[in-house]
Chain A
Amino acid sequence: MARIIVITSGKGGVGKTTTSAALAMGLAQRGKRTVVIDFDVGLRNLDLIMGCERRVVYDFINVINGEANLNQALIRDKRCDNLYVLPASQTRDKDALTKEGVEQVLVELSHNHDFIVCDSPAGIEHGATMAMYFADDAIVVTNPEVSSVRDSDRMLGILSSRSRRAENNEEPIREYLLLTRYDPLRVVNGEMLSVEDVQEILSLKLLGVVPESKAVLTSSNSGIPVILDRESDAGQAYSDMVSRYLGDEVPHRFLHPEKKGFLSRLFRG
């Protein structure tokens, strides 16, 4: 049976799709048979980030409606044999996601995959609740700013009450925090919430801190998951995150300003 991971946040634009692509690629590179599903029906982006937008024929909704079978809709990644992408439909809306349909697809995927990564849309409406309903693990992507933290908190509340595990009184979803777009320099200057601030509010296991990085935008625009950019800090941070998710103890990096400028050296005394 596959483990189902939802990447969620509540707030938009915090890096859910970037994280989904990086996690899926990272798991696949470590030999895990992985599929990543775009739940953002109507606003699909994952195919672009994964660089497979020109190979989309059938999509998730086609499979749910029985217009195509899974093998027709799954797109195998060209860089990694263990990785498949199931794109969202761009022409439908999120109501096309039925609980039964989603469950059927997940069950079928479970048979021959190790991990199913669900890229949730923003918000707490139908699309987002469908993405998280069947999850075993949840990675809550949060930016170090108050509105994102509050939305993540709201999402965590929904995870603990409206998932299949909650409704069946099973062991609750394992929840992890991923802090993205972290700028240590701005934290030092008091312009941004620190890791400790966010953790104090959300009281959650920290899976990783991804620094604000130009590499993310560059990778996204060229359809390469940023985890493949091993030179970049963001790519390394995502790689660490995957290791931690798989149970390795990896120290957190990129928490402090890298180059000690004159000013910061002065203030740190």
Chain B
Amino acid sequence: MAVNPNPRKTDPDGSRSFELKAASFTLPIIRLLDANVEAVAARLGAKVEKAPDFFRNTPVVIDLSDLPSGVGAIEFPLLVGLLRGYGMIPFGVRGGNREQNAAAEALELAVLRESYVRRGKSANETSTKEIDMEVSPTPPREAASSTPAPPARRPGQGFMLINRPVRSGQRVYASGGDLSIVAAVSSGAELMADGNIHVYGPLRGRALAGMNGNLEARIFCQDLQAELVSIAGHYRVSEGIPTELRGVPVQIFLDQKILRIEKL
């Protein structure tokens, strides 16, 4: 059945003011091998002198994973100032420990999670589509203060299957494929997939399919009680889901970029 495409009572023009999408970028990484900012400054200066235009207005990520363990705090204010001075736009860190991440966050640098690191590495190794999956126990804001969990499973196929309940606060991301859950998804849990999402238990959390912008992705579930559903950034919150579609098997898809929820 057709569903009111614009359930929220905003003016039609306002509702088209932006789209939320996911995209990936290749960015230069400053891999720190020494915590001493002065030493970094000296070497960086020489490097930038050779190709000053290359670095102008370039966003960069600071990689801390190769720092020798046991080094003290990184002087982020100095380092960020240094990079900005050369025209770069440092916007995030990765691979840091808890203290380093906290210091980076204090400077409003993004703390990139392990999944980004792994995806970056796998992209370097092979140019074919590499599947990267992880179950992270913490949402990204919390990831800064706790170590990310290791990936739950890595079957090396284009999909991901989970047969335990996905609990409040857990996030599951099937990168490059479908995500199937043969259990309940609690309120406060978050499912993400580049492909379709299938849930064979009550779906009470959030489900975001087509994370890489795939407009063809769909969400299938046995019992829709979701807080939020989204296909390629076109989303709807619980409030906008008609009551007759709650608690029944449905599929959710995009029709002319309008999110439709249909009984199965």
**B-binding residues in A (CB < 8 A):** 150, 153-154, 156-158, 160-162, 166-167, 172, 200-203
Q: List 15 A-B contacts (CB under 8 A).
A: A150-B188, A153-B168, A154-B188, A156-B165, A156-B167, A157-B166, A157-B170, A157-B189, A160-B167, A162-B137, A162-B149, A200-B202, A201-B184, A201-B187, A203-B201
Say yes or no for B102: interface residue by CB 8 A criterion.
no
Q: Chain B residues near A200 (CB, 8 Å)?
A: 202
CA distance A156 to B167 in the complex (A): 7
Q: Chain A residues near B149 (CB, 8 Å)?
A: 161-162, 166-167
Q: Are the C-beta atoms of A154 and B169 separated by less than 8 Å? A: yes
Say yes or no for B207: interface residue by CB 8 A criterion.
no
Q: Are the C-beta atoms of A167 and B167 separated by less than 8 Å? A: no
Given A154-B169, A167-B150 in contact, is the A160-B186 Cβ separation under 8 Å? no
CA distance A239 to B221 in the complex (A): 41
Q: Are the C-beta atoms of B184 and A157 separated by less than 8 Å? A: no
Q: Are the C-beta atoms of B137 and A203 separated by less than 8 Å? A: no
CA distance A200 to B201 in the complex (A): 10
Q: Are the C-beta atoms of A153 and B137 separated by less than 8 Å? A: no
Q: Are the C-beta atoms of A203 and B184 separated by less than 8 Å? A: yes
Say yes or no for B50: interface residue by CB 8 A criterion.
no
B152, closest chain A residue (CB): A161
Say yes or no for B164: interface residue by CB 8 A criterion.
yes
Q: Chain B residues near A172 (CB, 8 Å)?
A: 164
B111-150: contact bitstring with A at CB < 8 Å (1 yes, 0 no)? 0000000000000000000000001010000000000011
Per DSSP, chain A at the interface is helix
Q: Chain A residues near B188 (CB, 8 Å)?
A: 150, 153-154
| 8 Å CB contact of A150 from B168, B183, B201 | B168
Chain A to chain B: the 9 pairs with minimum beta-carbon distance, closest first: A157-B167, A161-B137, A153-B168, A157-B170, A154-B168, A154-B169, A161-B149, A153-B186, A156-B167
Q: Are the C-beta atoms of A157 and B183 separated by less than 8 Å? A: no
Q: Are the C-beta atoms of B183 and A153 separated by less than 8 Å? A: no
Minimum Cβ distance to chain A for residue B139 (Å): 11
Q: Chain A residues near B202 (CB, 8 Å)?
A: 200
Q: Interface extent on B, as a size class?
A: 20 to 34
B147, closest chain A residue (CB): A162
Q: Chain B residues near A157 (CB, 8 Å)?
A: 137, 166-170, 186, 189
A169, closest chain B residue (CB): B150
Q: Are the C-beta atoms of A161 and B170 separated by less than 8 Å? A: yes
Q: A156-B167, A158-B137, A203-B201 are in contact. List 14 more A-B contacts (CB 8 A).
A: A153-B167, A153-B168, A153-B169, A153-B188, A154-B168, A157-B137, A157-B166, A157-B170, A158-B169, A161-B135, A172-B164, A200-B202, A201-B184, A202-B165
Minimum Cβ distance to chain B for residue A188 (Å): 23
Q: Are the C-beta atoms of B165 and A203 separated by less than 8 Å? A: yes
Minimum Cβ distance to chain B for residue A187 (Å): 21
B177-197: contact bitstring with A at CB < 8 Å (1 yes, 0 no)? 000000110111100000000
Minimum Cβ distance to chain B for residue A129 (Å): 9
Q: Chain A residues near B204 (CB, 8 Å)?
A: 201
B142, closest chain A residue (CB): A124
B150-167: contact bitstring with A at CB < 8 Å (1 yes, 0 no)? 101000000000001111
Q: Are the C-beta atoms of A154 and B165 separated by less than 8 Å? A: no
Q: Chain A residues near B186 (CB, 8 Å)?
A: 150, 153, 157, 201
CA distance A166 to B136 in the complex (A): 12
Q: Chain B residues near A150 (CB, 8 Å)?
A: 168, 186-188
CA distance A158 to B186 in the complex (A): 13
CA distance A203 to B166 in the complex (A): 11
Q: Chain A residues near B187 (CB, 8 Å)?
A: 150, 153, 201
B31-57: contact bitstring with A at CB < 8 Å (1 yes, 0 no)? 000000000000000000000000000
Q: Chain B residues near A154 (CB, 8 Å)?
A: 167-169, 188
CA distance A166 to B204 in the complex (A): 24
Minimum Cβ distance to chain B for residue A254 (Å): 26
